[in-house]
Amino acid sequence: MGLIISMLNHKGGVGKTTSAVNIGAAMVELNKKVLLVDLDPQANLSLSLGAPRVPHTIYEAMRGEADLNPVNIKEGMDVIISTLDLSGAELELINEAGREYILRELFEGIKDQYDFVIIDCPPSLGLLTLNALTCSDYVYIPLQAQFLALQGLAKIKQVIQKVKLRLNKKLQIGGVIATMYDNRKVLNRDVVETMIKYFGDAVFNTYIRENVALAEAPAHRKDIFEYNRTSPGAIDYLELTKEILERTAKTTLETQA
């Protein structure tokens, strides 16, 4: 059964889309089959991978006008493409019965075709994000190792707790990812220490270092492994993904025990 992961942070520029793309790509490197879902109206994930234009995107699917339409990007990786039209979905669906469950219902017939489904959430805590959390097994929070990135963490935890209580009992905070990290900077080290105090063991041991290749790869419509698999970015995301697989395997075993 495929596990569904949401990448969530209501702040932009923290490495959320970069993490969604490259964790997905690292999973493919580790022989997993992955579906990436671009739930952000800005469509940065779709653009980063050079996904083609298609008549039926996540927008049409959520409106009930089409089924989900995975597009194959490379062997082992498919993408559900987004569009700017999705920005109007929250207003258009506001009176829809069971509006928080739309995405869960769409995934029912497709998630078991993959080992992991990774949702790139929009930088907000609105209806699209609620849909993602309602259908997810885990939520991962990418956090830039900067002071301002820490602001609003209490709100994120509050939203996750409410979704778990009211909409999705199985939802867990799977981990917190420190991004854009530079060990030479005292501020970066201090911020990571604060993250650990706040989230404890949920903070992954692997930090994603500042690396120009991670910024360059989307311009070439490639993930980091296609662009430069020897770069620090590729090394970090591969190690992080190994941690993710270990955690999810352990949690699955504990649940079955």
* Per-residue model confidence as pLDDT tens digits over 191-210: 899 889 888 999 999 999 99
Q: Supply the pLDDT for residue 256.
A: 63
User: Residue 19: in which H helix or E strand, if any?
Assistant: helix 16-29
Q: Are 207 and 236 in contact (CB under 8 A)?
A: yes
Q: How many structural domains compose the chain?
A: 1
Is there a contact between 220 and 241 (Cβ–Cβ < 8 Å)? no
- Asked whether residue 253 carries a pLDDT value surpassing 90, the answer given is no
CA distances from 200 to 7, 153, 226, 237 (A): 19, 14, 33, 21
Q: How confident is the model at residue 251 (pLDDT cuts 50, 70, 90)?
A: confident
pLDDT tens for each residue of 76-133: 999 999 999 898 888 888 888 899 999 999 999 899 999 999 999 999 889 999 999 9
Which residues 6+ apart lie within 8 Å of 247 measured at CB? 174, 175
Distance CA 119, CA 121 (A): 6
How far is Cα of residue 100 from the mean position of the Cα atoms in its chain?
18
Task: Give the pLDDT band (50/70/90) at residue 10.
Answer: confident
Sign of the torsion formed by the C-alpha atoms of 257, 117, 241 and 175: negative
So what's the pLDDT on residue 136? 97
Q: What are phi and psi of 63, to 5 degrees?
A: -85, -5
Determine the pLDDT at residue 202: 93
Question: Residues 32, 76: contact at Cβ < 8 Å?
Answer: yes
Average pLDDT over residues 68-78: 95
**Cα–Cα dist 255/257, whole Å:** 6
Is residue 176 over pLDDT 90? yes
Query: What is the identity of the amino acid at 142?
Result: P
Q: What is the spatial order of strands in the sheet that 71-74 belongs to?
A: 71-74, 77-80, 34-38, 116-120, 3-7, 138-144, 172-179
Segment 136-147, tens digit of pLDDT: 999 999 999 888
Q: Show the domain range for 188.
A: 3-256
* Over residues 33-61, mean pLDDT: 94
**For the domain that residue 13 is a member of, what is the CATH number?**
3.40.50.300
CA 158 vs. chain centroid, Å, equals: 19
Token pair in block for residue 13 = 């520029």
pLDDT for position 242: 97
